[in-house]
Amino acid sequence: MSAQKRALITGVNGQDGSYLSELLIEKDYVVYGMIRRSSTNNLIRIEHLINNPNFHLIYGDLLDTSSLTKMLYIGAPDEIYNLAAQSHVRISFDIPEYTCNVTGLGALALLEATKNYNKQTNKKTRFYQASSSEMFGSTNPPQNEMSVFNPRSPYAVAKVMAHNAVTNYRDAYDLYAVSGILFNHESPRRGDDFVTKKIVRAAVNIKRGIQNELRLGNLEAKRDWGYAKDYVEAMWLMLQQDRPDDYVICTGKSISVEHFCEIVFKQLDLDYRKYVVIDQNLFRPTEVDYLQGDATKAKTYLGWQPKTNIEELAQLMVESELLDK
């Protein structure tokens, strides 16, 4: 009987970290999740896993190299999934230096720690980096693995740095390191300050008569939205291949923020046009107008494709929000 595989997930208490933990535990992994200490409860997405014997939490920080090294020796992972980041694009304009430190330099620090750990232990730990479609910025769609990066935010700049660091460590040190260039992926576990969750929550509140309007920025921005639970499967598949490579993960279909509003409000028998107010303060200093991916490579080599369309995703989010209150 072979030993259980061991995985380390940074940002384990986020949307993707929680779904990935569930997937790996279902596949009989022992999962070690890194979280930062906080004075508030930041475990809500993973509370149901806390007592699972195959799930363990480790306190650490991407900006603290000593904690990264300690974490590797405690978890002794076969696979590392770096999902931790300052991940809100609009907020990255307000805290650009912090965003670049955590999202860019933090990934570099973890790559360096992994390289050293492998050398010292003679292990072949594999590394997954969460890259982002925001790296493409103003590049014309459809965007694939060969498209040029044109980052339009501090967040995207930091993600490009981390992405390029993965390529460098793969080439320079023969590290099995890959980047998943994931387009927008949502779920009922999405953070409250992300636009899809903001729209869903506002629509439900308006339906209940406890909110009068929804203030949004650029309604014309188009995004390729998928379901996070589908996308974490692609992360796992990338680390099961014979050779490391980077993959775009997306649905291949794009809709505007306004269209997403229409879908969500319609499910509650509401007309979004009566409630949505455009707020210039919510626009980004530099906008990304149109992201639409091409996942042909992932479908061909990973055998992956999305299972959930945008209407089904919106319904999942609305139903969850209705149950939540």
Residues marked active site are found at 132, 134, 155
3-class SS of residue 321 = helix
Q: Is the separation of the CB atoms in 248 and 226 below 8 Å?
A: no
Which residue's entry shows tokens 């090294």?
69
Amino acid at 151: P
Name, in order, each residue with C-beta under 8 angstroms of 304's C-beta and a sequence gap of 6 or more: 233, 234, 237, 249, 295, 298
Residues 239 and 300: beta-carbon distance below 8 Å: no
Residues 212, 214: Cα–Cα separation, whole Å: 7
Alpha-helical (H) ranges within 101-153 are 106-121
> Would you call the peptide bond into 142 cis, given omega within 30 degrees of 0 as the criterion?
yes
Phi-psi region of 37 (alpha: psi -120 to 50; beta: other; left: phi over 0): beta
CB 205 within 8 Å of CB 236:
no
CA angle 166, 59, 186 (to 5 degrees): 60
> Residues with Cβ < 8 Å from 45, sequence gap 6 or more?
13, 14, 15, 17, 18, 189
